[in-house]
Structure 1
């Protein structure tokens, strides 16, 4: 099985095995049995279950199989076999059995599948053809030795193996034992035989071997970071001695002899409990807790910081201080151990509703007898501070759990109690939770602290509880908010959003949905810099359990331009002006415009190298979790088109063309003029060689076309042969882009694969709406890429394994294409289907899987909401009578 296939194992594939692990009669109730384990051992199992890669290896007799009088009847415990098999099927997890038995006997007796590595004869046998690997001298020695062994010892105590024999001593009286031990020693001394002594057995082999060498070889073969080894015999000590500080050694038995093991186990039954517990712990970590559907998360935002709240009232994601900074709450990426900030009834009652308060990002979660309002407080100036406010009202006991885990939970997070709450220790800037009057208890959770308290809001002096999490140096008013000033801060936060929404020009239909989309886009605009996030999250998967997990917390030139254009179309200009100022700053640090990267951090800096956070299990087990984005190094020549479209529409809206906007326009055309004919990686950032993508060529045409429109509108003289360039690009697209065999524009020149982005041949205006080539392209994409309420980007191999859902923005492109070609009823029908996919609080993620009916991708996604706004506006002109 390849690494990618291994990483793509889904929870459903393990369901039957997990059920057998849990239902085994010998194992009993795993949770109850695990409580009987040494707490320190269980903690160590918990830690090792989170290793990026893990090997679990055991001995056989006395470990996964009980010791019996007749070695031929030593069958393994069913629960241990189930656990070893289940562990072997988990991603980044390997299992093995290293036994003194012959490999043939081991395979027959254990009934373990091929996924479990088997080593017989103390590692001397690793497959059933070992005998063929013996040289002539070893064969001769083996034959002579076997003959003499059979002559001097009783047949019933001899176990013949491929490379030697085992002499069993169990059940012999002391005199007979001593006689046989002496005879074996003489035989071994007389032949080139390698003896290995166990408690009740002597193994003899013509091949030098040891469990230490076997375990070392298996470790290298599986390339793991941590090893758990369980043995019971003297020979197992050699393997235990090889273990390091990141490993765990366990020894079965009560004998008082010294051991290299970290813990002792009482019996093979307890081994089965350890293996079952390790499987459940690792499966839970790799595949996450029962993942909350992506679309049910709600966004908090204030134009500077963002956070996600799940429907149970837990803040499960919050980077600080910048959008791409490490998150102090990362629970959404698969595990509570990654950090969260939860409030909920102490009774464990489920929430009733969750909704935004009016037209804002202030969020209200309600339970029976409890209400929580969450928001990010407005921050004055251009600081990087983050202030989270949580207001609790009600008459039921509330459990508060504050579990920040710094740097994506890569380092222990310790706290100290203060007069007004708790303070996070060891940070470069203050991080403090204010909760005056609340008696927090600091609970040890591994190497970190969790602050916990239970309180009844109505019994507090103010009849409520105000929690203020202040992160940063300029958060001195946090105490004021917590002790009576919260009402004023909340009013400011509400007024900001309400006043802004009042300035928008909205369609007559689906107004509330458009407003929520607009607020979401506005929250993704980073006001201090003018940068715009594609999404506030990283690694929410494009396919559950798959590897298509990307970091979108950056500013793409394309996405950012399209986002602020959508807000401009609603009448808000500030975001567009801020973005163009940001872009001018980036260009000032760039040698020439054609060398612009596709994306930057919101502060205009280059991205760090894309990396994997191997310690996080990922949303619903979707790994790897990535930070950074390697697309920064790609060539994406379409990005100049959306920028120039923005310049065209903003200058038209303003009725003037500031000199810096004209300079930007000229720079975009200059970039296209130098590189439009080159292959590139395209809008979808395929991780494969560049090609002549049709969408890219169309956007290069858009760049020049919109620049000419700007020049004409304001009487400017083009800086070069712009008209000739526009015609040259258009002719190139029309000559090489349409595939007669397919009857449509395809993904790239000379290819037959369809791509939704090819719709822009008509959506951009390069072709007239009634051109048969555009109409047939619309039909082909609807036929081949639409599935129910969603439209896929493409179906071709993009160089990445695994599947993905349909993209909401592609669906809105098809709706727009329907409008263009006059299919208004079809446009309305598809729009209503998209509208039904909005999450409970009105948000859209990136994708939708119409088969599994799952929402996928980073959330909320700017692309999805800007597309929704655009088609809602276009359909406003075609409202049903």
Structure 2
């Protein structure tokens, strides 16, 4: 592990901006230390969050010490302000990316302003192409423009424009500038694709101002489309905004997280690449978007799922994750030249779990289609035909072993969650067929009921009085919390309440939930991890549905206190409240939205009245 961990900001000390193609992480210190460009799954150009020396960054900060740092979003937008406060003056950096829905995108805009006093700033733009593997050249085109060109196979070209003079540094690979601003003065920087058609540096200020207002209005208009008017509005809108940032405008798919390699335990080996679309996220995504009134995003996601089902044709070949485009180019490799966040290696790109057998994905797939078909728009017969073949395959294969929801690498087992989601797959297919009067094979109902009895008989531990993680186990699993949420069992059924109690005893620490105990033999990986934030929100929702709404609201609001200063969550929480894993994590924010909706419905007396 790198002894100089001070070179790395805490994961939670970041905001995120994006253009619906990719995102950039902006630190509280004004440094962009992670960005893949031009797309989510493109190689990184800035990744000093994963290697302070070799990763590359884009920093803007005052030259004198003793600054206080503050960071906030303009309300209901993804426009980020980073402030530097001192007795000598107040500085501010406004970071945003014009979204592709308005123009082509592929531009990062940073506006530096002096709010009060007089402040000297230093800017350093140090791209490192192809995950820091490819060398590059920097050319000073004129006093206000530098062009960076990768000499690697990517061949990418970037252009930095500025309203202040630029110089080359670090062996002519970086662009730097030192400049002083007085009250009311501004300096603008644009980093863009070399093919972007933007004005010369002379006209940059007007261009930046125009696109700042345009971007602000885009995000405010998008939030205004939300139909949610219940409790915790600001938190719900922020979660929706960060989810929108992770949806590809080009394809309609959503990344699980826009980062790779951030550790589940500092110094540990659980460092994965989440820049892909998990079929598992489908039902959670469609549910959240529909409940919030964002039907277009739900439609785009279901259309993407439709294309995957159409492409695979043969039943049983659905994979648990795809690239944003829908391809299977996810071979896992290790970037040995990067030391990892605070020395947490290996840093992986690609994901070796992509070819695992995980039976639960059919349940999430059919649940998402069922929800959209009922509350969005009716699905086509051709889509139904593709799905029907998948359901027939589930009927033939639900009894198989698999690697389970947590993508463990310790071998296959009969996991309860996987079997339950096979039940969901067939159950939702039956409901879709009934809603449309499509032909309904008798076998579907028979197999669904067989799974139901299998779970109640083979996964119930009489001694522990709970449903267990896998057949023959004496351990519990936080994924079991989804049993009442997918309506497999009543949230007030005695067997479920007994299981919930056992989960509380073994996996819950105050209100925080571990997904399982990592010392169990089935896991197959060394090291540990923090509490899983998504599971905490599942737990809260189960409490609310079981009749413990006061406890649910208390734990939910306590969990809100673990968000970072901007309302964002990573995948996990460490013992000190530090954020762990990739950031921000879509699944966590989906869980937050679902829990808030359930609690709000119960408190408003709408639980049995709502449409979805």
- TM-score normalized by structure 2? 0.92
Counterparts of 1:855-870 in structure 2 under 5 Å? 855-870=579-594
Structure 1 unaligned runs (5+)?
1-9, 11-281
State whether residues 541 and 552 of structure 2, in contact with CA within 8 Å, keep that contact through their aligned partners in structure 1.
yes
Is 1:294 aligned to residue 21 of structure 2? no
Does the C-alpha gap of structure 1 residues 477 and 591 become closer, same or farther in structure 2, counting only changes over 3 Å? farther
Residue 408 of structure 2: SS of its match in structure 1? coil
Residue 684 of structure 1: SS of its match in structure 2? coil
Q: 1:591 deviation in Å? A: 4.4
State whether residues 378 and 489 of structure 1, in contact with CA within 8 Å, keep that contact through their aligned partners in structure 2.
no
Is 1:671 aligned to residue 388 of structure 2? no
Q: 1:835 deviation in Å? A: 0.7
Please, which of 603, 606, 609 is the counterpart of residue 879 of structure 1?
603
Is 1:440 aligned to residue 166 of structure 2? yes
Q: 1:489 deviation in Å? A: 1.1
Counterparts of 1:351-430 in structure 2 under 5 Å? 351-368=68-85, 369-379=90-100, 386-394=106-114, 395-419=118-142, 420-426=144-150, 428-430=155-157
State whether residues 286 and 372 of structure 2, in contact with CA within 8 Å, keep that contact through their aligned partners in structure 1.
no
Query: Equivalent residue for 2:562?
Result: 837
Q: 1:660 deviation in Å? A: 4.5
Note the alpha carbon deviations across 1:695-748, whole angstroms, 9 max, x for none.
Answer: 011111111111222222232222562211211111111121111122111111
State whether residues 324 and 554 of structure 1, in contact with CA within 8 Å, keep that contact through their aligned partners in structure 2.
yes
Distance 1:539 1:720 in 2: 47
Please, which of 787, 794, 806 is the counterpart of residue 509 of structure 2?
787
Does the C-alpha gap of structure 1 residues 660 and 435 become closer, same or farther in structure 2, counting only changes over 3 Å? farther
Distance 1:507 1:667 in 2: 40
Note the alpha carbon deviations across 1:417-447, whole angstroms, 9 max, x for none.
Answer: 11231100246343100114x22221126xx
Query: Equivalent residue for 1:827?
Result: 552
Distance 1:721 1:478 in 2: 68
Residue 589 of structure 1: SS of its match in structure 2? helix
Q: 1:659 deviation in Å? A: 3.0
Q: 1:804 deviation in Å? A: 0.3
Greater relative contact order (CA < 8 Å, ≥ 6 in sequence) = 2
Query: Equivalent residue for 2:59?
Result: 342
Q: 1:401 deviation in Å? A: 0.7
Does the C-alpha gap of structure 1 residues 771 and 323 become closer, same or farther in structure 2, counting only changes over 3 Å? same
Does the C-alpha gap of structure 1 residues 868 and 634 become closer, same or farther in structure 2, counting only changes over 3 Å? same
Structure 2 unaligned runs (5+)?
606-612
Distance 2:11 2:315 in 1: 38
Counterparts of 1:28-43 in structure 2 under 5 Å? none
Larger displacement relative to structure 2 (800-809 or 555-564): 555-564
Distance 1:816 1:580 in 2: 25
Q: 1:500 deviation in Å? A: 1.0
Does the C-alpha gap of structure 1 residues 682 and 658 become closer, same or farther in structure 2, counting only changes over 3 Å? same
Query: Equivalent residue for 2:608?
Result: none
- TM-score normalized by structure 1? 0.65
Does the C-alpha gap of structure 1 residues 298 and 523 become closer, same or farther in structure 2, counting only changes over 3 Å? same
Residue 136 of structure 2: SS of its match in structure 1? coil
Counterparts of 1:181-220 in structure 2 under 5 Å? none
State whether residues 166 and 177 of structure 2, in contact with CA within 8 Å, keep that contact through their aligned partners in structure 1.
yes
Distance 2:286 2:36 in 1: 23
Q: 1:870 deviation in Å? A: 0.6
Please, which of 237, 250, 254 is the counterpart of residue 532 of structure 1?
254
Distance 1:727 1:380 in 2: 46
Larger proportion of helix: 1
Distance 1:571 1:422 in 2: 44
Q: 1:563 deviation in Å? A: 2.2
Distance 1:609 1:665 in 2: 27
Distance 2:157 2:200 in 1: 12
Distance 1:695 1:570 in 2: 27
Query: Equivalent residue for 2:452?
Result: 730
Query: Equivalent residue for 1:452?
Result: 176
Distance 1:716 1:472 in 2: 53
Distance 2:379 2:308 in 1: 20
Distance 1:711 1:382 in 2: 41
Does the C-alpha gap of structure 1 residues 813 and 783 become closer, same or farther in structure 2, counting only changes over 3 Å? same
State whether residues 430 and 444 of structure 2, in contact with CA within 8 Å, keep that contact through their aligned partners in structure 1.
yes
Query: Equivalent residue for 2:609?
Result: none
Q: Let me know the Cα RMSD of the aligned residues.
A: 2.1
Please, which of 484, 487, 503 is the counterpart of residue 762 of structure 1?
484
Query: Equivalent residue for 1:803?
Result: 528
Residue 711 of structure 1: SS of its match in structure 2? helix
Distance 1:605 1:662 in 2: 22
Distance 1:584 1:381 in 2: 26
Distance 1:645 1:581 in 2: 15
Residue 530 of structure 1: SS of its match in structure 2? coil
State whether residues 310 and 386 of structure 2, in contact with CA within 8 Å, keep that contact through their aligned partners in structure 1.
no
Q: 1:324 deviation in Å? A: 1.5
Q: 1:475 deviation in Å? A: 4.3
State whether residues 375 and 389 of structure 1, in contact with CA within 8 Å, keep that contact through their aligned partners in structure 2.
yes
Please, which of 491, 494, 499 is the counterpart of residue 772 of structure 1?
494
Residue 390 of structure 1: SS of its match in structure 2? strand
- In the comparison of the two structures, how many residue pairs are matched? 591
Q: 1:665 deviation in Å? A: 4.0
Q: 1:477 deviation in Å? A: 5.4
Does the C-alpha gap of structure 1 residues 789 and 290 become closer, same or farther in structure 2, counting only changes over 3 Å? farther
Please, which of 853, 857, 861 is the counterpart of residue 577 of structure 2?
853
Does the C-alpha gap of structure 1 residues 334 and 791 become closer, same or farther in structure 2, counting only changes over 3 Å? same
